[in-house]
Amino acid sequence: MTNNFNKNVREKALELLQRIEKEGAYSHLLLNHVLSHGQVSKKDESLLTELVYGTIKRKNTLDFYLTPFLKNGIDSIEPWVLQLLRLSVYQLVYLDRVPDRAVIHEAVNIAKKRGHKGISGLVNGVLRSIQRKGLPRTNSLSGIERLAIETSHPEWLLEDWIAAYGEKEAKAMALTNLDPPPLTVRVNLSKSTKEEIKNKLLEEGCQIEEGALSPDALIITSGSVITTETYKNGYVTIQDESSMLVARLLQPEPGMRVLDACAAPGGKTTHLAECMEDKGSINAFDLHKKKIKLIEEQAKRLGLSIIEAKAMDARELTAHLDEQFDRVLVDAPCSGLGVIRRKPELKWQKQKENLERFPKIQADILAEASKLVKPGGMLVYSTCTVRKEENEDVVEAFLSQNNLFKRERNEFLANTLQAEHGQKTILPQQFGTDGFFMALLKKQDL
Ligand SMILES: C[S@@+](CC[C@H](N)C(=O)[O-])C[C@H]1O[C@@H](n2cnc3c(N)ncnc32)[C@H](O)[C@@H]1O
């Protein structure tokens, strides 16, 4: 056994995998909870994270590997046993640092503890057979079936991406989704300069690279940023680089009135306030009352005072507000398929049929929020998905019904992203950021 080998960490991983599959829980929230409550030792934190994310990310492929070794098929075994087998095959195939015999030994022990002798025998038999006979090959598969196993994505999703972006991009996107996402922070320029913040983080033991896309971004390549004083004192916010482009695209200025229609947990609201040097006002709404405190907590940590957060359905804004705003942000609820790297269970939890509800909600929110834009004011519509139905199509339909609005060219989008028309889809493989969509719309000055 190696030093890394710890019994509890695998049982914990199994427990989380079961909850994610059974309850539809989010991996990142569960993991954050377990890690922040010290439920595994410090030295096992990265292994737990790797086991949980890795097993979810490769689910399709792991099931393909297991199938020939299960006489009555994968559906014949109890869900927890299947999770244990997936977790173990993941280690056998993808983790060099753990010896195979230790993986099998531990899996059998967990099976004995949780099940009866028959189950531990099955687990032992399947894992030893895989070790002896080797993995099945994908050569016999063709087309979409093969791509689905080799990239570990559902076929319907790959078919959608191929239809939208072509086979090469679809494959690149699926492969990028298997990579670990970067940890990126946004510097709070209302408090200090980027250079000073960078130095503070370096002094506190973080290693840093410049962001690829956003001038506000620093990539943390090692170190625990969340425990630094720099983080606690509001100099940085954890945010993906694509998301950081949104507030800049909206171009809020100090003193303006700004509306953020779908604001929780407040990542973009607080960025807007920073860009405004905490001068002016921001009305931040979200449908879910319990999420409002997340916005308030972030504003407090960052020392921002101009944000007023409140629960509200953005489809009914005009029933509650009669003033108009210089800037309006609609960062709409969406299928989230641009952030599969961070939430890998999304690709298994979402079904094509569940996605059909989004364009209508998005269109309703956009139409309602647009009524509150001042003449000459600007609106940004954004999502963290890569589905055209939720992105380009929603904007196109909106513009065809609202001729006071036009897409507005933006220097940054044009120069950095070659997007001449104030609208851009970013795919995760292009810059290593989350997949994202944003459109800048300007209301005609009367
Ligand atoms: C993409 S998230 C927003 C992320 C946020 N802008 C940020 O940067 O932290 C979309 C949000 O829309 C909220 N939402 C969903 N339906 C809504 C509605 N009808 N009105 C207002 N907010 C809604 C969700 O609760 C969710 O917090």
Residue 1 resides in a domain? no
Is 361 in the same domain as 269? yes
Is 251 in the same domain as 302? yes
CATH number of the CATH domain containing 193: 3.30.70.1170
Is 217 in the same domain as 92? no
CATH number of the CATH domain containing 411: 3.40.50.150
Return the structure tokens found at 181.
């996402």
Residue 3 resides in a domain? no
Which residue has the CA at smallest separation from atom 10 of ligand 1? 333
User: Is 0.90 exceeded by the ipTM?
Assistant: yes
**How far is residue 308's CA from residue 205's CA, in Å, rounded to a whole number?**
35
> Of 286, 301, 304, 335, which is best to mutate to test ligand 1, by the most ligand atoms within 8 angstroms of its C-beta?
286
Question: How many whole angstroms from 287 Cα to the centroid of ligand 1?
Answer: 7
Sorted by sequence, the CB contacts under 8 Å of residue 231 that are 6+ apart come out as 185, 225
Listed in order, strand segments (DSSP E) in 138-288 are 183-187, 207-210, 217-222, 236-238, 257-260, 281-286
Is 388 in the same domain as 353? yes
Count of domains for the chain: 4
Residue 384 annotated among the catalytic residues of the structure:
yes
pLDDT digits (tens, 9 = 90+) for 58-114: 999 999 999 999 998 999 999 999 999 999 999 999 998 889 999 999 999 999 998
**Could you tell me if 393 and 404 are in contact, meaning their C-beta atoms sit under 8 angstroms apart?**
no
User: pLDDT grade, residue 6 (50/70/90)?
Assistant: very low
Residue position matching structure tokens 């929780």: 264
CATH number of the CATH domain containing 35: 1.10.940.10
Is 105 in the same domain as 152? no
Provide the residue range defining the domain that includes 115: 9-133
Q: Which of 206, 275, 334, 384 is catalytic?
A: 384
Is 15 in the same domain as 94? yes
Q: Is 331 annotated as a binding residue?
A: yes
Question: How many whole angstroms from 388 Cα to the centroid of ligand 1?
Answer: 19
Which of 177, 196, 230 finishes a domain?
177
pLDDT digits (tens, 9 = 90+) for 356-378: 999 999 999 999 999 999 999 99
Is 199 in the same domain as 55? no
With 50 as the cut, is the pLDDT of residue 135 above it?
A: yes
Q: Is 63 annotated as a binding residue?
A: no
**CB of 264 closer than 6 angstroms to any ligand 1 atom:** yes
Share of the chain above pLDDT 70, in %: 98
**CB of 364 closer than 6 angstroms to any ligand 1 atom:** no
User: pLDDT grade, residue 298 (50/70/90)?
Assistant: very high
Which of 238, 256, 277 finishes a domain?
238
Is 27 in the same domain as 124? yes
With 70 as the cut, is the pLDDT of residue 1 above it?
A: no
Q: Is 267 annotated as a binding residue?
A: yes
With 80 as the cut, is the pLDDT of residue 5 above it?
A: no
Which of 194, 209, 238 finishes a domain?
238
User: pLDDT grade, residue 3 (50/70/90)?
Assistant: very low
Return the structure tokens found at 357.
């509800």
Residue 2 resides in a domain? no
Helix (H) or strand (E) holding 308: strand 307-311
Which residue has the CA at smallest separation from atom 17 of ligand 1? 287
pLDDT digits (tens, 9 = 90+) for 261-288: 999 999 999 999 999 999 999 999 999 9
**CB of 106 closer than 6 angstroms to any ligand 1 atom:** no
Span 338-343, mean pLDDT? Answer: 96
Residue from 327, 334, 336, 339 nearest 357 by CA: 334
Average pLDDT, the chain: 94
Residue 335 resides in a domain? yes
Q: Quick one: pLDDT at residue 2?
A: 39
**CB of 285 closer than 6 angstroms to any ligand 1 atom:** yes
Question: How many whole angstroms from 265 Cα to the centroid of ligand 1?
Answer: 8
**CB of 280 closer than 6 angstroms to any ligand 1 atom:** no
**CB of 314 closer than 6 angstroms to any ligand 1 atom:** yes
Q: Is 286 annotated as a binding residue?
A: yes
Is 306 in the same domain as 392? yes
Is 320 in the same domain as 223? no
Residue 195 resides in a domain? yes
Question: How many whole angstroms from 383 Cα to the centroid of ligand 1?
Answer: 10
Using the atom order of ligand 1, give the atom closest to the CA of residue 268. 8
**CB of 266 closer than 6 angstroms to any ligand 1 atom:** yes
Residue position matching structure tokens 């190696």: 2
Question: How many whole angstroms from 416 Cα to the centroid of ligand 1?
Answer: 28
Residue 384 resides in a domain? yes
**How far is residue 138's CA from residue 438's CA, in Å, rounded to a whole number?**
38
Residue 116 resides in a domain? yes
Q: Quick one: pLDDT at residue 446?
A: 76
Sorted by sequence, the CB contacts under 8 Å of residue 181 that are 6+ apart come out as 240, 341, 342, 434
Exposed, middle or buried, 442 (CB in 10 Å: 0-12/13-18/19+)? middle
Residue 223 resides in a domain? yes
Is 110 in the same domain as 148? no
Strand partners, 288: none
Q: Quick one: pLDDT at residue 4?
A: 40
Q: Is 206 annotated as a binding residue?
A: no
Is 192 in the same domain as 79? no
Using the atom order of ligand 1, give the atom closest to the CA of residue 266. 9
Q: Quick one: pLDDT at residue 40?
A: 85
Q: Is 263 annotated as a binding residue?
A: yes
pLDDT digits (tens, 9 = 90+) for 206-247: 999 999 899 999 999 999 898 899 999 999 999 999 999 999
pLDDT digits (tens, 9 = 90+) for 415-443: 989 898 999 999 999 999 999 999 999 99
Question: How many whole angstroms from 240 Cα to the centroid of ligand 1?
Answer: 17
